[in-house]
Structure 1
Amino acid sequence: MEVITIESKAYSLLMEKLDKITAYVEETRLCEEAHKCRDEELKTDGRKRSTKWMTNKEACEVLEISPRTLQRYRTNRIVSYSIIGKQIRYPRKEIEHFRDRWMVETPDTKIDRMIAEHPLHTSKSKNYGKKRRNTGENE
């Protein structure tokens, strides 16, 4: 057996690096388990969908937006995509990251309050948008 000696400072640096690597591996494992749960939800017709790329339809379903909105996101370079042949594909990780970061679910109470406080909802005049007749008084 061969014995190797190192300084205590070098040993503590080595142990810190090993702790960082261990934490990274644990975090990656937890993320993979979370993605496996998400992938299980995405199974349809007994087949698992592609884990790397999404179609237009899949991206619209995940983001809960219309195809036109997704097209606008592509045009404005909000989401990244690739064109493979005649098909547009979206990286699954980026779509999920976009959803997690930017999509906010608005509570029903906040929507009701916004409607109630809107100027058109609270206006006393019900003639908004109607043409007024010329009564001849101002002539």
Structure 2
Amino acid sequence: MKLIILGSKAYDELVVRIENVEQAIARAKFTTVSGDDDWIDGDTICRYLRISPRTLQRLRSDRVISYSALNHKFYYTLGEIKRVLQEHSIERHEK
């Protein structure tokens, strides 16, 4: 086994790069969804919308967003996500 020693700065930069790659992959997965009837898991929704799992849980509890549950994992349709975003969007008015 080969050991590689990194300084703390190099390690932190490596961690940031790995997180950036993870986010890019998550965005790519989300954008490859083609139709409003396609199902997306809660983890992907949280990463894409940059919300916490607790916020998503609150949306479910308040019946703002509909979902399906399978084996203790929650799924949402892309159409449902679009509907919720559209209903809660605030239009900007120029003065």
Q: So what's the TM-score if we normalise by structure 2?
A: 0.51
1:86 to 72, 81, 86: 72
For 1:61, the aligned partner's letter is R
CA–CA separation in structure 2 for the residues paired with 1:82 and 1:58:
15
Runs of 5+ consecutive residues of structure 1 not aligned to the other structure: 1-41, 107-139
For 1:68, the aligned partner's letter is R
Return the structure number with greater relative CO, CA threshold 8 A, min gap 6.
Answer: 2
1:76 to 57, 62, 66: 62
Query: What does residue 43 of structure 1 align with?
Result: 28
Can you list the C-alpha shifts for 1:30-68, whole angstroms capped at 9, x where unaligned?
A: xxxxxxxxxxxx534xxx457511111222234332111
CA–CA separation in structure 1 for the residues paired with 2:48 and 2:85:
8
Query: What does residue 112 of structure 1 align with?
Result: none
Higher strand proportion (structure 1 or 2): 2
CA RMSD across the alignment: 2.8
Q: So what's the TM-score if we normalise by structure 1?
A: 0.37
Query: What does residue 39 of structure 2 align with?
Result: 53
**Judging changes above 3 Å, is the alpha-carbon distance between structure 1 residues 81 and 102 closer, same or farther for their aligned structure 2 residues?**
same
**Judging changes above 3 Å, is the alpha-carbon distance between structure 1 residues 97 and 65 closer, same or farther for their aligned structure 2 residues?**
same
**Judging changes above 3 Å, is the alpha-carbon distance between structure 1 residues 68 and 57 closer, same or farther for their aligned structure 2 residues?**
same
CA–CA separation in structure 1 for the residues paired with 2:51 and 2:88:
13
Can you list the C-alpha shifts for 1:71-120, whole angstroms capped at 9, x where unaligned?
A: 011111110000122321011101112112214489xxxxxxxxxxxxxx
Runs of 5+ consecutive residues of structure 2 not aligned to the other structure: 1-26
**Identity in percent:** 34
Whether the 8 Å contact between 1:60 and 1:66 is mirrored in structure 2 is yes
